[in-house]
Amino acid sequence: MNTRFDPPERGPLGPDVATVVTAPIVAPPSESAVSWGAIFAGAAAAAALSLILLILGVGLGLSSVSPWSFEGVSKETFGWSSILWLTFTALAASGLGGYLAGRLRTKWTQIHGDETYFRDTAHGFVSWAVATLLTAGLLTSAIGGVLGAGAKVAGATAGAAASTAGVAAAGAGSAAAAAPEGDLNYWVDSLFRSATNAGAADPSAPPPPAAPMDPNAAPPLAANAGPREAGVALPRPMPGRGPMGDRREVRAEVNRIIVNSLQGDGLDPADTQYLSQLIARETGMSPAEAQARVTDVQTRMRAALEKAKNTAKQAADDARKATAYAALWLFITLLIGAFFASLSATWGGRRRDL
């Protein structure tokens, strides 16, 4: 009987041990939280659409106003239309930019859904911010100059009356501060106008009948007889008919007196009396009439100046209100654009992850 026992062959590690070969563990690539390419793409699209809509708005606005009376829309209609168009431009451009920023961003696979929502919102907001800065840069360039010129034309058309009043007030203010000689010529001319002769004959009235001839009267003189042959005195020169240089000096002095009165509360009694004497000498009026003319011209001149100042203040106040309203509405429009860009980015990101 064979009692030999042959044990089974064993491997190098024993019969129950298997060799396991494992591959090295490779960490997943890190995913960036910000997709700058998508952000800049959305910002460029938003800026381009904003520029296109602004140019279209300028064209529509200029076609709706007119400098002629009873033509075109009113200032209120033009203002509200501009606000609505700016709001629509902000919504359209911000929505497009935010949607593209969310749709074109990198797909995140190892983050929670709330984190994805937050990142999409941040992408839309950053895209809106970049587009806003880019649009502001474009509006300050040559294209912005074209748009600004159109806005100035529209503003000038809508407020032509205020602009005219501002020019008149500026002229009155310069006259009161340091007016040159030509700014007050109208009032100086009013002072030195010749007095009208109340007893002047009406040219349309028939001539009076000729007086009967006196037989004892001297025969008529010849047509070429001079004043000495006629035996009459030479006429005295009319007042104010002196040399031209003297008259210019008088008018310049009167101009300076008027400017000085505008800077204060009115003419001093001494200046009033002196002007009355000058006017009486230059126009042949009586001293009482000359003083009455000085008082009347001074009253009308100060009333015109006060009216011009009030008109200028009203125009400045209207411009201040318009600027304040425009700034507030622009602020609200930008906030609406930021919100809509963030919301549109979440829509685009959700479509990207489907």
- The DSSP secondary structure of 130-145, one letter per residue, reads HHHHHHHHHHTSHHHH
Encoded tokens for 73: 């829309």
What is the C-alpha to C-alpha distance for residues 334 and 93, in angstroms, rounded to an integer? 11
The average pLDDT across 3-9 equals: 59
- From 184, 152, 141, 158, select the one nearest 77 (Cα to Cα): 158
**Contact assessment for residue 78 and residue 61, using Cβ atoms and an 8 Å cutoff:** yes
Report which residue type is found at 4: R
The average pLDDT across 132-144 equals: 74
67/244: higher pLDDT: 67
- From 172, 157, 98, 180, select the one nearest 132 (Cα to Cα): 98
DSSP state of 6: -
3/212: higher pLDDT: 3
- From 275, 311, 310, 324, select the one nearest 295 (Cα to Cα): 275
Give residue for tokens 């000498």: 281
Lowest average pLDDT, out of 50-59, 205-214, 224-233, goes to 224-233
**Backbone angles phi and psi of 35, in degrees to 5:** -105, 90
What is the C-alpha to C-alpha distance for residues 268 and 264, in angstroms, rounded to an integer? 9
Encoded tokens for 306: 């006060």
Half-sphere exposure of 121 (CA within 13 A, CB side): 7
What is the C-alpha to C-alpha distance for residues 338 and 186, in angstroms, rounded to an integer? 58
Look at residue 242 and tell me whether its pLDDT is greater than 80: no
Q: Measuring CA to CA, how many Å separate 94 from each of 47, 134, 137, 155, 164?
A: 9, 13, 17, 27, 40
- From 115, 111, 108, 103, select the one nearest 37 (Cα to Cα): 103
Lowest average pLDDT, out of 22-36, 130-144, 238-252, goes to 238-252
141/134: higher pLDDT: 134
**Contact assessment for residue 134 and residue 44, using Cβ atoms and an 8 Å cutoff:** yes
Please state the pTM of the whole predicted model: 0.56
pLDDT category at 227 given cuts 50, 70, 90 is very low
